[in-house]
Chain A
Amino acid sequence: MKAAPYLLCLPALVLFAGVVIVPLAMTVLLSFHDWGQYKGIEPVFILKNWQEVLGDSYFHEMFARTFRIAFFVTLLAAVFGAPEAYILNRMRSPWRGIFLLMILGPLLISVVARTLGWALLFGGNSGLVNKALMGMGLIAAPLPFMFTETGIVVALAHVLMPYMVLAVWASLQRLDPQIENAAVALGAGPFTVLRRIVLPQVMPGILSGAVIVFALAASAFATPAIIGGRRLKVASTLAYDEFLNTLNWPLGAAVAVLLLLALIGIVWGANRLVERRYAQVFA
């Protein structure tokens, strides 16, 4: 009887041990191997790749860019996604369901197709975004979006927005609507209700959404590769180059492992912060 749950988990455990843990361990190991143009990968234990990744200013710049993009994507998602989740939550059916489908649905549509859409909007012969912005009188001359960080940020914010809406939406579902009415009955205006009553309660949702969006933005691949082009590298596209073009796998592995470690650290720290801050209120 005691063994039953382990037996039931056995197939999954075997799969994860064999196809997740071993490969990940091999990748960490790979980052310590040597590599040469002609000798290929040498299974030795050296720190060369790590010294290069941690010491070279090219990698500093690239990681700074990666996290800068992730930060702005997260900011955009939080600033625009949270109010939308709130508005959605106040809608009546069937509109609520329809718009929720429209906003969450893109999550399941191919990232490549969505990024292609942004490439079409940004550049090519149409350049719709610039036309629209100039038409509204917001800018005088076309802004460069293609092959820029701005372009990557906008496209990634779109790709990852549903996660933020979803997280805030989930926390709004836990909200007792009567609490808002109680605040109104006590004389609070709509903005006071938002700021003093709703926002503090959905803050954990926004923060958990932010953690997800940040982690996915920092490790996103297809969008920065298509919008950023071949020169504007982020950690994931650089690792891709090392693996499939330069063939310096150990260096690519070091970049990927460093990205993973940095993300684990950031996500763990953020979760700790959220828990410590909100555990008392939302036990």
Chain B
Amino acid sequence: MSRNGPLALAYHTLFVAFMLAPILVVCFVAFTPEGYLSFPTDRWSLRWFYAIAQYPEFISAFWRSLWLGAISSAIAVGISVPAALAIARYRFPGREAVTALFMSPLMIPHLVLGIAFLRFFTQIGLGGTFTGLVLSHIVVVIPFALRLTLASAVGLDRSIEHAAVSLGATESVVLRRITLPLVLPGLVSGWALAFINSFDEVTMTVFIAAPGTETLPVRMFLYIQDNIDPLVTSVSACVIAITVVALVLLDRAFGLERMLVGRNANHGR
């Protein structure tokens, strides 16, 4: 395989700069010592990070986002595992349709989902509640949870379970000792990917979160709509830092590429 020429590498450098520029700018501005938006030139300051503590609505929104992501992702994985096993193992009428249905939140614009949930939750008395948020987030993260649990269920060699059965294992023993441990990496990565997507979701949540149940991205969005100041850059910098750490850990553990492309595309070269 031939190498990239200098032209290609120059292009690549510009491209990476384009991808990283807005993220780096946010992080830089967050360290400004000034009271207005500016780049820290001669000195850095953490004053805007300390300032976050003065805004309890950011702190509480952060914890809410964390819980929301953790709970909805866990439930999404819990629902996905049996569905993934069914889709991976059985050829049943409606299998394609069921799969398409479970993946559909990827296709339906989050705006439409937000509006639909706002209408629905208001009607059934869940408007602006945390329960409503959890239900809606389960729906939007299920495709991510399902994709990765499905991949690990499909990759499971059925003869391994047959081997356990032939050695005298009952169904529940096979499930507990063989099947679950083998699909566990898929479950964990599915949960993590679902969590990140829940943690960052804003378009749908902005419709259904009320004051008091706002998530961090929603709080940030509403704040930016009013004014852009260094405070929101320091909050964003924290979010970016958390995501980057999670990303690197996930990449180390499972391979980001495999999680996003949905298969291990890296081998065979």
Residues of A within 8 A of B (CB): 2, 4-13, 15-16, 19-20, 22-24, 26-27, 30, 80, 83-84, 87-88, 90-91, 97, 99-121, 124-126, 128, 155, 158, 161-162, 166, 169-170, 173, 177, 180, 190, 215-216, 218-222, 225-226, 235-236, 239-240, 243-244, 249, 252-253, 256-257, 259-260, 263, 267
Contact = CB atoms under 8 A, between A and B. Distances in A.
Given A15-B138, A113-B26, A240-B206, A119 B228 contact: yes
A226 B21 contact: no
**Interface magnitude class on chain B:** 35 or more
Interface in B59-107: 78-80, 82-83, 85-87, 89-90, 92, 95, 98, 101-102, 104-105, 107
Contact of B11 (A30, A84, A173): A84
A83 B78 CA distance: 40
Given A120-B29, A128-B25, A249-B119, A112 B220 contact: yes
Nearest to B220: A112
B224 A226 contact: yes
A120 B105 CA distance: 32
A242 to B, nearest CB: 9
A22 B21 contact: no
Contacts of A259: 109, 111-112
Q: A interface, by DSSP: helix, strand, loop or mixed?
A: helix
A81 B36 CA distance: 35
A116 B85 CA distance: 41
A101 B248 CA distance: 8
A15 B139 contact: yes
Given A110-B217, A116-B232, A243-B207, A9 B105 contact: no
26 contacts: A4-B90, A8-B82, A9-B83, A12-B98, A15-B142, A27-B115, A80-B15, A91-B4, A101-B248, A109-B240, A110-B239, A110-B240, A112-B202, A113-B239, A115-B22, A116-B236, A125-B38, A126-B25, A128-B21, A161-B19, A173-B261, A190-B2, A216-B109, A221-B206, A235-B111, A243-B115
A111 B202 contact: yes
A107 B110 CA distance: 16
